[in-house]
Structure 1
Amino acid sequence: MSSRSSFDPPSDQDWMAAAARLAARARPLSSPNPGVGALLVKDNRLIARGWTQPGGRPHAEAGLLDSAGKGAAGATLYVTLEPCAHESQRGPACSDLVAKARPSRAVIGQLDPDPRTSGAGIARLKRAGIDSAVLEDAASAASLAGYLTRQKLGRPHVTLKLAVSLDGCIALSDGTSQWITGEHARAHVHAHRARHEAILVGGSTWRSDRPRLDVRIPGLEERSPRRILLSRGVAPEGVTVINRPDQIGALEGVQYLYVEGGAQTAASFLAEDLVDELHLYRAPIIIGDGLHGIGALGLTGEAGLASAHKRWTLAERRQLGSDEFTAYQRTR
């Protein structure tokens, strides 16, 4: 048990967690740049904040330093990703801006895997006399999941969403799946759609449901993701077709991909170990043999129980009306 009291000042990890939550405002509008959050703190008081703006500019640090002005001198900078060190026609390198602003400390969540910056940004800050450290903490890593996955694995961060009955069915035998879950769960799904650049379904789901795959939350309609179809057929108008799950790496400008099914599509992504986050919406209904339900997953490639264990970690659980939502992260 921690001995820290509620009156102790926030730690570096606390401030970084706050910066990571702020970074959520940038997702996914900052694409193709990562969504970064940044805070300036002086005497345990927040004096400025910033996050990557739509289209990727200004960067989080640039916006934050612009609002802080001379107040940045002597403060502590918390930023979820190493300040960039490469020149761009769209703006100066953030490491140069930070060095010029003269904060006393810089606490960085993650080193930038981009070879143009990796290590060079923090080195530039240290040469300017700024005490700099990298936390490599879970909060900043989670906030940058799409960017880090794209940089390290060459593909988007994939979230697989499944809406299931208590007995693990996603549809009736005729393919009917609207609606297994209730209104609150569906609104939650639309909120997650708005946080992804692209959304993918399989050919059978497309043919049986003709899903709109858009965002139907008032005020967020323009955040509807790009539509992707996993199929060997001809691409419908306004839809991008890929033939295999491993082709998601070729989807330009996509850091976050939302996969909505159906069963064979979900199984194929799991079999290829391409799922990074699993979202389960469980409705308090039983479909059972009497209605000839379709199971949530086909063959996933698991060789046995030993390989199935320790692959997923519970990340979140909440009640959405009568339905239960659970999120799991892939343990790698």
Structure 2
Amino acid sequence: MATATEADAMRRAVALAARALGATSPNPVVGCVILDPQGAVLGEGRHRRAGGPHAEVEALAAASAAGHDVRGGTAVVTLEPCNHTGRTGPCSQALIDAGIGRVVFAIADPTGNATGGAAALRAAGVSTEGGLLAHEAATVNMAWLTSVRLGRPFVTWKYAATLDGRSAAADGTSRWITSAASRADVHRLRAEADAVVVGSGTLRADDPHLAVRGQLVEEGEGEGEGEGEGEGAAVQPLRVVVDTHASVKPGARVLDDAAPTLIAVGEDADTGHLPGVDVVRLPRAGAGRGGLDVPALLAELYGRGVRSVLLEGGPALAGSFLAAKAVDRVIGYLAPALLGAGPAALGDAGVGTIARALRLEVTDVARLGPDLRITAFPTTSATASEEN
């Protein structure tokens, strides 16, 4: 039975894991805290980058650097220690070799090649317990767990609107519907995502940059002492433009070198004006819908190591994703303003009658300056947090 000290250590491990959101794909975010037999912290760590040391190895190294003997200690980790050799060795064996006497983890590893760490630990005589604060650990790893189960990236649709649901005024102007506080929060979402997706309409109307503000990225790169709890750990997300007819202009801001960019076009699109730009050709959407095939786009991104997508596209693209049942979370920023006319935040999502309305479960409502931020999940979506 896990102790209160181990529960506190797990909360710390979950917080450590969250600091790496946006930086570890296609791997999960993982945090680890090592305790001595009396419950004092000997070392802690997190998985910072794919290909880099896993959380358990970093925590062991931190304990060693501080001159601590971890033999007989307890490793508290958010995910079952892996049991395979990839770009790094198995964490289960590293813990065994270090002489750890007990391992407490939150959630079992669902991947076929990495699972089995708990069994390996037990076979080596290490006391092992799973399930401590499983919901909290699954929530921070929601995107990765969902992508493992579905074989596609976890998709968050973010939108900003007035209280009457308008995303722009009748003349097309939309800057700024929401406050600076809401816009700063969107940069946090971008920093936590592997890819940011917009459509050609948004590109023509707003010429967005889509990169994360430099401060968030620079803080996330910090490896030394003095890192604050609120620092992000993100690298720049992949900027993705869904542009069926390759209408993007060579001078678009999204094509600069601040972050990588992918232009998704139709199979017959002329891309001769985009030399040197990363372009992928995708099939058109079926069933009478315009644009590109959403599942094909997500499969392409998944193959590139993308496990979480922030959908910032306009109403038409959002409708296409929802019609394809490819939205796992909705985050809406609502400004206390009324327009009365102008485009709605959501276009055709394949809903023809109230009985087919896409119902959501609201899980959080927060004030950001004058605005409201509402977080909700489709009630038919078996998200990672619901399963654990």
CA distance in 2, matches of 1:307, 1:139: 32
Q: TM-score, normalised by structure 1?
A: 0.88
**Sequence identity percentage:** 36
Q: Deviations over 1:8-62 (max 9, x none)?
A: x736554333312210122222223222111113333332211012233111111
Is 1:62 paired with 2:57?
A: yes
Which residue identity is paired with 1:78? V
Is 1:81 paired with 2:74?
A: no
CA distance in 1, matches of 2:33, 2:351: 44
SS of structure 2 residue aligned to 1:208: helix
Alpha-carbon distance change, 154 to 68 in structure 1, aligned in 2, over 3 angstroms: same
1:328 is matched with 376
Alpha-carbon distance change, 212 to 80 in structure 1, aligned in 2, over 3 angstroms: same
Which residue identity is paired with 2:315? A
SS of structure 1 residue aligned to 2:192: coil
2:276 is matched with none
CA distance in 2, matches of 1:122, 1:263: 46
- Is there any run of 5+ residues in structure 1 with no aligned partner, and where? 1-8
Q: Is the 8 A contact 1:230 1:244 kept in 2?
A: no
CA distance in 1, matches of 2:46, 2:378: 27
2:245 is matched with 233
SS of structure 1 residue aligned to 2:19: helix
Is 1:163 paired with 2:193?
A: no
CA distance in 2, matches of 1:328, 1:45: 39
2:316 is matched with 264
Which residue identity is paired with 2:19? R
Is 1:31 paired with 2:81?
A: no
2:366 is matched with 318
CA distance in 2, matches of 1:105, 1:305: 54
Which residue identity is paired with 2:124? A
Match of 1:295 among 319, 344, 348: 344
Match of 1:196 among 193, 198, 222: 193
SS of structure 2 residue aligned to 1:71: coil
SS of structure 2 residue aligned to 1:294: coil
1:15 is matched with 9
SS of structure 1 residue aligned to 2:13: helix
Q: Using the TM superposition, name which of 103-112 and 161-170 deviates more.
A: 103-112
Which residue identity is paired with 1:126? R
1:279 is matched with 331
The CA RMSD over aligned residues, in Å, is 2.3
Is 1:122 paired with 2:118?
A: yes
How many corresponding residue pairs? Answer: 318
CA shift for structure 1 position 194: 1.2
Q: TM-score, normalised by structure 2?
A: 0.76
SS of structure 2 residue aligned to 1:194: helix
CA distance in 2, matches of 1:63, 1:35: 13
Q: Is the 8 A contact 2:152 2:298 kept in 1?
A: yes
Is 1:91 paired with 2:88?
A: yes
1:101 is matched with 98
Q: Is the 8 A contact 1:31 1:56 kept in 2?
A: no
Q: Deviations over 1:174-228 (max 9, x none)?
A: 3322110011111111121111111001121111111111122535378432111
Alpha-carbon distance change, 92 to 319 in structure 1, aligned in 2, over 3 angstroms: same
SS of structure 1 residue aligned to 2:240: strand
CA shift for structure 1 position 280: 0.9
CA shift for structure 1 position 235: 7.4
SS of structure 2 residue aligned to 1:315: strand
1:254 is matched with 306
1:3 is matched with none
Alpha-carbon distance change, 15 to 219 in structure 1, aligned in 2, over 3 angstroms: closer
CA shift for structure 1 position 231: 2.7
CA shift for structure 1 position 304: 5.0
CA distance in 1, matches of 2:162, 2:208: 20
Q: Deviations over 1:240-276 (max 9, x none)?
A: 3162221212211211110012011111112222111
CA distance in 2, matches of 1:35, 1:181: 31
- Is there any run of 5+ residues in structure 2 with no aligned partner, and where? 219-233, 249-254, 256-260, 265-281, 283-291, 383-388
CA distance in 2, matches of 1:212, 1:219: 15
Which residue identity is paired with 2:372? E
CA distance in 1, matches of 2:351, 2:198: 22
Which residue identity is paired with 2:299? G
